[in-house]
């Protein structure tokens, strides 16, 4: 697009939904320019600018490409600058910037158009002779906080309305260049009904490579995750949650200390196995969980991303924290959109969560059925093996982490499984929850069903 705009002397306006999305897009443009720098002459190199209100809104590394109207002392000076620039990047919310008030562009491209509410989509097209919308309403739709507005149609994008009204004017891109075969098949099952195909054989067969020369003391579940054939892995925490008291789960709210500890252990191992932090990203739907994970990974300078702000994100490894942990809590709307993060991974997708809770939510129930069919899941049964990875504040919510700090449950947990034993047989009978330890069906007392000794609870 950059080369074509330069050759045809076009002024192209590229608009996105937010600043992070545009930053990721410009980084990708810079990568491509560097990749093909030997094939392009100086005249073929396009000049672009990132339009913003203030430079603090964008990534520090891109501020050299930014410009605000405050840097021009006259409209003529601004007009001359526009004449010498080919591509203009801006958010859809910046349509009132002076840049767009004194010039008519040849083309406007609205990226991730399916995420824009209808009023926000109309403005950019008034500034160009031609308009192109790029999006995917199969999985991406506007996020509307007001339920009444959503019911009245604000949650349906202009992009989707036009696609449904003029289907013969829609170009469907059926070939993908990002994901390997397992990740692609997962997104096909959830959203695309088998529509998406592979464009490149090497991308289809891509796997994550680790430095096997480094010998680490690894947990069994991490060894399993690192297997080359494990391109999609769901780490099931049901057995851990079943051992926790309901009041402990209630207290955690939109945080999940089990998942953050598991993610900490995985990231540490992957970094020590030769991967770089730039190859990985962590995604979660909740702000509290994002803050928790980010605090734990401070030493690695890793950033956790909110599900609503991953447009343009692309990594070799995506780790998803589902968070939902409460068996009695109402299913949260945010869980439905977890699958938006799946196509962001190119080589390995790791999801940490509860199969029982996700089964209750559409379309995640299709995802659970599929990973069970493919045996793409791993059960974690013992929280003690990852005890050192729990956040310090977790001891206030999970009593087995603080046995010497006024723990009211001290001495009443199974030494190996952390299951709460109770004080009477009546309590054990009323709170039986069947889970599995190394494939053996087990009661809430943490003892195999055939070996439960009721007299020990009298």
For the stretch 412-426, pLDDT in tens is 445 444 554 444 445
Total residues found in the chain within this entry: 458
Q: Strand locations in 181-270, DSSP E?
A: 197-198, 232-236
Residues of the domain holding 122 = 2-168
Task: Indicate the burial class of 14 (C-beta count within 10 angstroms; 0-12, 13-18, 19 or more).
Answer: buried
Residue 174 lies in a domain: no
418 with 377, same domain: the answer is no
Same domain membership, residue 160 and residue 17: yes
What gap in Å lies between CA 34 and CA 29, rounded to an integer?
9
In terms of Cβ atoms closer than 10 Å to its own Cβ (0-12, 13-18, 19+), residue 420 is: buried
215 backbone dihedrals φ, ψ, rounded to 5°: -100, 120
Three-state SS annotation for 248-306? HHHHHCCCCHHHHHHHHHHHHHHHHCCCCHHHEEEEECCHHHHHHHHHHCHHHCCCEEE
Contact criterion met (CB below 8 Å) for 182 and 231: yes
pLDDT digits (tens, 9 = 90+) for 9-27: 788 888 888 888 888 888 8
Do β-strands 66-67 and 175-176 pair in parallel, antiparallel, or remain unpaired? unpaired
Residues in the chain where the model's pLDDT stays below 70:
1-3, 5-6, 40-46, 68-72, 98-99, 101-102, 212-217, 245-246, 325-336, 399-400, 402-458
Strand partners, 90: 15
C-alpha span between 456 and 421 (Å, rounded): 10
Query: What is residue 449's predicted lDDT score, i.e. its pLDDT?
Result: 41
Distance from CA of residue 458 to its chain's centroid?
49
**Tally of CB atoms within 10 A around 7:** 12
Q: Are 289 and 255 in contact (CB under 8 A)?
A: yes
Instruction: State how many domains the chain has.
Output: 3
Q: Which CATH number goes with the domain that contains 63?
A: 3.40.50.300
Inside any domain, residue 192: no
CA separation (Å) from 43 to 12, 37, 236? 17, 12, 55
Q: What is the pLDDT of residue 407?
A: 42
Are 362 and 422 in a shared domain? no
Strand (E) or helix (H) holding 391: none
Q: Is the peptide bond before 313 cis (omega within 30 degrees of 0)?
A: no
- Scanning 44-145, the segments in alpha helix (DSSP H) are 75-83, 118-125
The distance between the two most distant Cα atoms of the chain, rounded to a whole number of Å, is: 91
- 22 and 61 in a single domain? The answer is yes
Residues 154, 99, single domain; the answer is yes
Q: Look up residue 149 and give its two tokens.
A: 């507005």
Return all residues near 264 (Cβ < 8 A) that are at least 6 apart: 293, 296, 297, 389
Rounded to whole angstroms, the Cα distance separating 264 from 258 reads 10
Nearest to 17 by CA among 184, 105, 143: 143
Crossing angle for the helix pair 158-165 and 118-125, nearest 10 degrees? 80
6, 81: one domain:
yes
Of 182, 269, 261, the C-alpha closest to 220 is 269
In this structure, are 25 and 54 located in the same domain?
Answer: yes
Domain assignment present for 331: yes
Q: Which of 127, 123, 90 is nearest to 108 (CA)?
A: 127
Instruction: Tell me the helices (H) and strands (E) count for the chain, helix number first.
Output: 16, 16
- Considering the domain architecture, whether residues 347 and 424 belong to the same structural domain is answered as no
Q: Which run of H or of E encompasses 254?
A: none
Whole-angstrom CA distances from 212 to 200, 208, 270, 273, 344 are 27, 12, 11, 7, 26
Contact of 423 with 412, CB cutoff 8 Å: yes
Residue 198 domain-assigned (yes or no)? no
Q: Domain for residue 91, yes or no?
A: yes
308 within a domain of the structure (yes/no):
yes
65: its two tokens: 């490409």
382, 409, 440: which is the final residue of a domain?
A: 382
Neighbouring C-beta atoms of residue 98, cutoff 10 Å = 14
* pLDDT tens-digit series, residues 329-383: 434 455 557 778 888 899 999 999 888 888 877 777 788 888 888 889 998 887 7
Q: Tell whether 248 and 302 lie within a shared domain.
A: yes
**Separation CA 303–CA 321 (nearest Å):** 13
Q: Are residues 376 and 414 in the same domain?
A: no
Instruction: Check residue 205 and give its pLDDT.
Output: 86
Q: Which of 382, 413, 429 is the last residue of a domain?
A: 382
Predicted TM-score (pTM) of the model is 0.75
pLDDT attached to residue 445: 41
Name which of 183, 185, 243 is nearest 412 in CA terms: 243
Asked if residue 216 and residue 147 are part of one domain, the reply reads: no
On whether the CB atoms of residues 129 and 39 are closer than 8 A, the answer is no
Is 134 domain-assigned? Answer: yes
- Structural domain ending residue among the three candidates 137, 168, 199: 168
Instruction: Answer yes or no: is 226 within a domain.
Output: yes
Q: Are residues 128 and 251 in the same domain?
A: no
CA-nearest of 17, 103, 91, 23 to 52 is 91
| Residue whose token pair is 């013992």 | 382
């Amino acid at each position: 697009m950059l080369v074509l705009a330069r050759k045809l002397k076009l002024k192209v306006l590229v608009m996105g939904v937010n600043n992070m999305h545009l930053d990721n897009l410009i980084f990708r443009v810079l990568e491509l320019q560097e990749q093909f720098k030997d094939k392009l002459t100086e005249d073929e190199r396009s000049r672009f600018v990132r339009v913003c209100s203030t430079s603090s809104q964008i990534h520090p590394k891109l501020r050299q490409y930014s410009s605000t109207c405050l840097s021009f002392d006259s409209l003529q000076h601004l007009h001359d600058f526009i004449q010498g620039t080919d591509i203009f990047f801006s958010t859809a919310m910046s349509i009132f910037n002076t840049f767009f008030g004194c010039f008519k562009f040849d083309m406007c491209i609205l990226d991730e158009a399916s995420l824009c509410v209808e009023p926000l989509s109309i403005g950019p097209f008034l500034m160009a002779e031609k308009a192109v919308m790029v999006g995917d309403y199969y999985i991406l739709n506007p996020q509307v906080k007001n339920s009444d507005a959503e019911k009245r149609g604000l949650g349906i994008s202009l992009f989707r309305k036009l696609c449904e009204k003029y289907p013969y004017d829609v170009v469907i891109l059926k070939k993908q260049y990002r994901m390997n075969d397992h990740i692609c098949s997962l997104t096909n099952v959830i959203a695309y009904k088998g529509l998406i195909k592979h464009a490149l054989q090497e991308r289809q067969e891509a796997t994550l490579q680790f430095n096997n020369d480094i010998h680490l003391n690894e947990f069994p579940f991490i060894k399993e995750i690192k297997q080359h054939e494990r391109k999609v892995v769901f780490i099931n925490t049901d057995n851990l949650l079943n051992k926790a008291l309901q009041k402990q789960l209630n207290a955690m709210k939109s945080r999940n200390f089990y998942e953050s500890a598991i993610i900490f252990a995985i990231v540490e191992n992957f970094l020590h196995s030769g991967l770089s932090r730039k190859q990985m990203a962590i995604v979660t739907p909740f702000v509290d969980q994002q803050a928790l994970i980010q605090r734990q990974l401070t030493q690695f300078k890793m950033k956790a991303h909110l599900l609503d702000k991953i447009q343009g994100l692309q990594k070799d490894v995506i780790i998803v924290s589902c968070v939902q942990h409460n068996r009695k809590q109402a299913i949260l709307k945010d869980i439905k959109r977890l699958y938006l993060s799946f196509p962001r991974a190119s080589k390995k997708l790791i999801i940490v969560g509860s199969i029982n809770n996700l089964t209750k939510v559409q379309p995640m129930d299709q995802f659970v059925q599929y990973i069970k069919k493919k045996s793409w899941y791993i059960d974690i049964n013992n929280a003690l093996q990852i005890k050192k990875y729990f956040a310090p504040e977790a001891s206030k919510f999970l009593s087995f982490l603080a046995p010497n700090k006024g723990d009211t449950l001290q001495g009443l947990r199974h030494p190996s499984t952390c299951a709460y034993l109770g004080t009477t047989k009546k309590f054990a009978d009323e709170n039986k929850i069947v889970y599995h330890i190394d494939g053996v069906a087990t009661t809430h007392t943490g003892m195999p069903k055939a070996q439960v000794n009721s007299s020990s609870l009298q």
